[in-house]
């Protein structure tokens, strides 16, 4: 494939988006843009300033002077590799809260569109197929049962040495799903022309093969 093309992957937390997207990016030799990482990077910047996630004006102000970029070895915030810090659990809910702020969405969406403007990308998030890359050639919406998602997230955190009770994790996932689905601007939603894939009972390999076969159709 020589032509520039875009793949949009949306879905809730721990539906398998980032694992699948990074594997597909490697296989198709295109860029992978994890838009959640951008909301997380802003969340980290605000958290480090000591801001409460409800301090909308303060958080908006940070957008005037922020650099977020994707390099070979990870996500950089203002020149620092923050790939591990943005995955810490307290950043997840913080990122979800601030992602509802209009200015936050406006600025990050603009950055995302720019990144995808001149190259082939696979981009994952909550509003890629409905907003950021509305004209993407390929759109998928991944889902998985709440139990499967909670266990996946639990294992991910455990492997990083982060201990959190499963019950608390389920509560947080529900809270984030609620926030992300019910915010006013660009809520998480399956685009009309997206294909839904339930990954609960599928291996990573199966999901990857399914998506690649659709792209090659």
In the complex with ligand DC, which residue's Cβ is closer, 45 or 176? 176
Q: Does 180 engage in binding with ligand DC (CB under 6 A)?
A: yes
Shortest approach of ligand DC to residue 155 CB, angstroms?
15
Q: Does 129 engage in binding with ligand DC (CB under 6 A)?
A: no
Q: Does 35 engage in binding with ligand DC (CB under 6 A)?
A: yes
Q: Does 39 engage in binding with ligand DC (CB under 6 A)?
A: yes
Site for ligand DC in 140-169 (CB under 6 A): none
Q: Does 83 engage in binding with ligand DC (CB under 6 A)?
A: no
Please identify, among the stretches 24-32, 59-67, 121-129, 136-144, the one whose residues bind ligand DC according to the rule CB under 6 A: 121-129
User: For residue 2, what are the CA distances in angstroms to 29, 66, 120?
Assistant: 11, 33, 9
- Mapped onto helix, strand or coil, the DSSP state of residue 193 is coil
What φ, ψ does residue 7 adopt, rounded to 5°? -120, 125
Q: Tokens 């950021």 sit at which residue?
A: 132
Beta bridge partners of 121: 6, 31
In the complex with ligand DC, which residue's Cβ is closer, 14 or 30? 14
Shortest approach of ligand DC to residue 2 CB, angstroms?
28
Q: Does 95 engage in binding with ligand DC (CB under 6 A)?
A: yes
Kindly determine how many residues on this chain lie close enough to bind ligand DC according to the rule CB under 6 A: 14
Helix residue spans in the chain (DSSP H): 17-28, 35-48, 56-62, 89-98, 102-115, 146-159, 166-182, 204-215
- Interface positions with ligand DC (CB under 6 A): 13, 35-36, 39-40, 95-96, 99, 125-128, 176, 180
């Amino acid at each position: 494939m020589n032509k520039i093309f875009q793949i949009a992957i949306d879905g809730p937390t721990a539906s398998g988006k980032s694992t699948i997207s990074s594997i597909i990016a490697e296989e198709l030799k295109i860029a992978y843009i994890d838009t959640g990482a951008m909301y997380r990077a802003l969340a980290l910047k605000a958290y480090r300033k000591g801001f409460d996630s409800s301090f909308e004006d303060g958080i908006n102000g940070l957008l005037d002077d922020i650099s977020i970029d994707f390099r070979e070895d990870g996500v950089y915030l203002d020149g620092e590799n923050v790939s591990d810090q943005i995955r810490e659990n307290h950043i997840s809910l913080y990122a979800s809260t601030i992602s509802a702020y209009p200015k936050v969405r406006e600025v990050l969406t603009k950055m995302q569109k720019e990144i995808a403007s001149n190259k082939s990308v696979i981009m994952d998030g909550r509003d890629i197929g409905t907003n950021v890359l509305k004209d993407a050639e390929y759109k998928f919406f991944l889902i998985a049962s709440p139990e499967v998602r909670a266990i996946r997230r639990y294992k991910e955190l455990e492997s990083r040495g982060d201990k959190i009770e499963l019950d608390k994790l389920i509560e947080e996932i529900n809270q984030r799903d609620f926030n992300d689905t019910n915010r006013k601007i660009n809520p998480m939603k399956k685009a009309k022309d997206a294909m839904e894939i339930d990954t609960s009972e599928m291996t990573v390999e199966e999901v990857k093969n399914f998506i690649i076969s659709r792209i090659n159709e």
